Amino acid sequence: MARKTKSAAIAACMTGALVLAGCGGGGPSAGGGKISDDKVVLAVLNDQSGVYKDLSGPNSVEAVKMAVADYQKKYGDKAVASDIEVISADHQNKPDIANTKAQEMYDRQKADIILDVPTSSAALAVAGVAKQKKKLFIDVGAGTTELTGASCNKYTFHWAYDTAMLAKGAASQVKNGGKKWSLVYPDYAFGQDMNKSFTSAIKEGGGTVQQSIPTPFPNDNFATFITKAASSKPDVIGTMAAGGDLINFVKQFNQSGMRDKATLAVGLMFITDIHSLGVDQFAGTTFTDAWYWNFDKKNREWADRFKEKTDTRPSFAHAANYSAALQYLEAVQRAGTDDSDAVVGELEGKKLNDVFLRDGEVRADHNVIHDTYLAEVKKKSEVNEPWDYEKIINTIPAADAYEPVSKACSL
Amino acid sequence: MSAFIQYTLQGLAAGGFYALAALGLAVIFGVLGVVNFAHGACYMLGAVVSAVLLDVVGLHFWPALVIVPILMFLFGVLLERVFVQWLLRLDVLYNFLLTFGIALVLVDLVKRRYGVSGLPYEQPAGLRGQLHLGSLSLPTYQVFVFAFSMLVCVLVWLLLTRTRIGMIVRASTEEPERTRALGINVNRWVTPVFGFGIGLAGLAGVLAAPFRAITADMGGNFVIILFAVVVIGGLGSVLGAVVAGFLVGLVEAYGQAYASSFSQIAIFVLMALVILVRPAGLFGRQETA
């Protein structure tokens, strides 16, 4: 009996300890010579093994290599950067590891630029290192507006998306009839940020937010949250859940029969999410996409080349990493050097266009704005080939897609 | 008022599932005295195996409901023979650490093989749509999970209390020496009981596949709630697991409806209160406290 007593005590204690441990979890963020060290080094720092591996990860390294090959092909002997190396590391979505790796990349591996860095806290850490070392950092994977707000600096650029842009895109469906909204968001930094952005964007667009419901994170059972969100009879139910929680939410949303009564809008979704859960479960769901591989001929050609290398279709993060690396090399070409200040000068205020950036512009706060899209997930019967999952409903012009330049940012 | 009844029904439905998922944990503890921290990982394995079998050999939900628990039973037998049995005579901490380690290994192996994004699973045929009762409606699948879970809980309870096998198993654990003296081979029963508990975890995993995300991490958070369930119910008590499953389901549903931010914390507040008043849990025997 004594044994059982002890077991009972252990079980109780460990349950408590694990609960506490679970609370800490968090979601999805040269010198005077011509070329320093005779080599331009592009470093991709992202999640190579965890939750964001599929949506960016190793395939973003491939995308950056594609940009290098395209640059070399375009300029041949005239290329300012004749020797280019691409390196990568896994930051495991942890800010402390991101910090250490970034220092190592800039100092020891002679990186001239760091790319990607999903997870907002990790991205902010790397932005700090970039500022200190006076080396470039182009963030693709993280969503926080802080990067171009209070934490902005001369050497940091934000390329693909941020929470404000996601909200603006989703709120654009107010004019398609989605006036009344219920929002369900995970109760931690990213979720609260998204809830705030969505609420103000929907109000600006002329809609109303009837309810904002916080949920624990992570969470398995959303049944009652969904009933509650539906109780005010909204046109649109918006969820800010991501990863496994998003899948839990969508499966239970579909079973509840709400799909026939309200549109489901997802705050942040990647095409890899649709692929993993199956297009049927997401059919009719709307979300903001920064880029879609099957949008036009130009995107498709690039996606075909990407597929040859990786055997999969690109997410917007893959395309954005390609674009960021390419525009960096173009800036080096224009500047005639990889000196950080000179390259920053060649990027600032520039209008840019490539396969990812449509009507792109590097703003004063270093937010790189471009056309974005309101997308709807196709029905299974409309899917013509693997990864053919999205219908683009609206193109949101770059000028309307982002919040105005933040007053909190002074470079 | 109808909203309140709706929330109550949802709480009961969720509670039934919690009861079933916690049942294996209660059985293994009640019989072997092992705190099986690999229970969440085995639940995950049940779901992952269902999804993989559907993808590879086209095995649908209904046959999976039978075949996957049997596979998990065999897996449990293997675990017990290879690892758990050697530590049964030592302090309970050893098996606790062992199962914790096994959980970590299982989760990482699944991550390695199937990645992190989650596996797709179909809605089982015949269980789509909703059941309506006046202004109330519940997903058909949720109602099925509730009914099926209750059936299994009752069967297990009958098996343990009303059959000769159950009697031998209970006698073997309560009074191993005296049972031996009566000519019963006590050790023979330990392995199948462990396998049975793991099989139940696998069964909960199959049931979870259509309405939960199938990822390597799905058991990590879930096992915490399950431990709350068995601690509230009284470790080792089948009846306790069922009653506590309902309590936790209801507390969660009311929390989600009326105090969204606190819905998960409420479960652990309940656990703390129960332990304060009845240290052995609602249905735990006092002498074990």
3-state secondary structure of A403: coil
B203/B21 Cα distance (integer angstroms): 8
pLDDT digits (tens, 9 = 90+) for B182-238: 888 877 888 999 999 999 999 999 999 999 999 998 998 899 999 999 999 998 888
Structure-block tokens of residue B114: 């199937």
Q: Which helix (H) or strand (E) holds A46?
A: strand A40-46
B233, part of any domain: no
The secondary structure of A63-122, three-state, reads HHHHHHHHHHHHHHHHCCCCCEEEEEEECCCCHHHHHHHHHHHHHCCCCCEEEECCCHHH
Query: Pick the residue with more confidence: B77 or B27?
Result: B77
| Per-residue confidence (pLDDT) for residue B288, from 0 to 100 | 46
Res A5 pLDDT > 70: no
Listed by number, the residues of chain B in 22-41 with a beta carbon closer than 8 Å to a beta carbon of chain A are 29, 33-35, 37
For residue B137, list chain A residues with Cβ-Cβ distance below 8 A: 257
| C-beta of residue A244 within 8 angstroms of C-beta of residue B118 | yes
Residue B162 distance to chain A (closest CA, Å)? 24
Give the CA distances from residue A327 to residues A157, A233, A283, A372, in Å, rounded to whole numbers and listed in that order: 12, 47, 35, 19
Contacts for B155 with CB less than 8 Å, ≥ 6 apart: none
Residue A10's pLDDT band (cuts 50, 70, 90):
low
Handedness of CA B213, B216, B217, B220 (dihedral sign): positive
Structure-block tokens of residue B99: 């199962």
Which residue from A minimizes the CA distance to B227? A15
Sheet holding A360-362, edge to edge: A351-352, A360-362, A368-369
The identity of residue A313, as a single letter, is R
B214/B50 Cα distance (integer angstroms): 10
Q: Which helix (H) or strand (E) holds A42?
A: strand A40-46
| Per-residue confidence (pLDDT) for residue A31, from 0 to 100 | 40
Q: What is the mean pLDDT of chain A?
A: 91
User: Are A278 and B120 an interchain contact pair (Cβ–Cβ within 8 Å)?
Assistant: yes
User: DSSP string spanning A367-381?
Assistant: BEE--EEEEEEPPGG
pLDDT digits (tens, 9 = 90+) for B59-76: 999 999 999 999 999 999
B128/B147 Cα distance (integer angstroms): 15
User: Are B34 and A7 an interchain contact pair (Cβ–Cβ within 8 Å)?
Assistant: yes
Contacts for B56 with CB less than 8 Å, ≥ 6 apart: none
Backbone angles phi, psi at A252, to 5 degrees: -75, -30
A391/A115 Cα distance (integer angstroms): 29
Domain A36-161+296-370 superfamily per CATH? Response regulator (3.40.50.2300)
Res B32 pLDDT > 70: yes
Paired residues of B130 in beta bridges: B139
| Per-residue confidence (pLDDT) for residue A3, from 0 to 100 | 59
Contacts for B66 with CB less than 8 Å, ≥ 6 apart: none
Torsion of CA B288, B41, B253, B263, to 10 degrees: 80
- Structural domains counted in chain B: 1
Strands B136-139 and B130-133 come out as antiparallel
A63/A91 Cα distance (integer angstroms): 18
Record: fold of A165-289+373-401: Rossmann fold (3.40.50)
Query: Pick the residue with more confidence: A6 or A362?
Result: A362
B260, part of any domain: no
| Per-residue confidence (pLDDT) for residue A134, from 0 to 100 | 97
Backbone angles phi, psi at B262, to 5 degrees: -105, 10
Cis peptide preceding A218, ω within 30 of 0: yes
A336/A33 Cα distance (integer angstroms): 10
Residues in chain A: 411
Residue B99's domain spans which residues?
A: 2-218
Give the CA distances from residue B54 to residues A251, B209, B213, in Å, rounded to whole numbers and listed in that order: 17, 11, 15
B34/A119 Cα distance (integer angstroms): 39
B36/B194 Cα distance (integer angstroms): 10
Residues in chain B: 289
Query: Pick the residue with more confidence: A291 or A278?
Result: A291
User: Are A54 and B228 an interchain contact pair (Cβ–Cβ within 8 Å)?
Assistant: no
CB atoms within 10 A of CB A233: 10
Same fold, A36-161+296-370 and A165-289+373-401: yes
Structure-block tokens of residue B54: 């559907």
| Per-residue confidence (pLDDT) for residue A27, from 0 to 100 | 38
Q: How far apart are the first and last CA of chain B?
A: 40
Res A22 pLDDT > 80: no
| Per-residue confidence (pLDDT) for residue A32, from 0 to 100 | 44
| Per-residue confidence (pLDDT) for residue A29, from 0 to 100 | 36
Compute the average pLDDT of residues A315-326. 98
Compute the average pLDDT of residues B228-253. 92
Interface predicted TM-score (ipTM): 0.90
Q: Which helix (H) or strand (E) holds A263?
A: strand A263-266
Q: Is B118 on the interface with A (CB under 8 A)?
A: yes
Compute the average pLDDT of residues B242-271. 92
Q: Residue B122 has what DSSP assignment?
A: P
A409/A144 Cα distance (integer angstroms): 14
User: DSSP string spanning B22-49?
Assistant: HHHHHHHHHHH----TTHHHHHHHHHHH
| Per-residue confidence (pLDDT) for residue A214, from 0 to 100 | 95
B36/B47 Cα distance (integer angstroms): 18
Give the CA distances from residue A370 to residues A163, A302, B140, in Å, rounded to whole numbers and listed in that order: 15, 18, 45
| Per-residue confidence (pLDDT) for residue A30, from 0 to 100 | 39
User: Are B137 and A257 an interchain contact pair (Cβ–Cβ within 8 Å)?
Assistant: yes
- Percent of chain A that is helix, strand, coil (3-state, to 5): 45, 20, 35
| Per-residue confidence (pLDDT) for residue A23, from 0 to 100 | 43
| Per-residue confidence (pLDDT) for residue B174, from 0 to 100 | 74
Res B283 pLDDT > 70: yes
Nearest-CB residue to B212 (from A1, A224, A251): A251
Find which of A211, A221, A233, A253 to mutate to test the B interface (most B CBs within 10 Å of its CB). A221
For residue A230, list chain B residues with Cβ-Cβ distance below 8 A: none
Estimate to the nearest angstrom the gap between the alpha carbon of A299 and the chain centroid. Answer: 18
Res B270 pLDDT > 60: yes
Query: Pick the residue with more confidence: A31 or B116?
Result: B116
| C-beta of residue A354 within 8 angstroms of C-beta of residue A199 | no
Nearest-CB residue to B116 (from A12, A50, A224): A50
| Per-residue confidence (pLDDT) for residue A81, from 0 to 100 | 93
| Per-residue confidence (pLDDT) for residue B114, from 0 to 100 | 86
3-state secondary structure of A385: coil
B107, part of any domain: yes
User: DSSP string spanning A278-314?
Assistant: -HHHHTT-EEEES--TTSSHHHHHHHHHHHHHHSSPP
Query: Pick the residue with more confidence: B285 or A351?
Result: A351
| Per-residue confidence (pLDDT) for residue A403, from 0 to 100 | 92
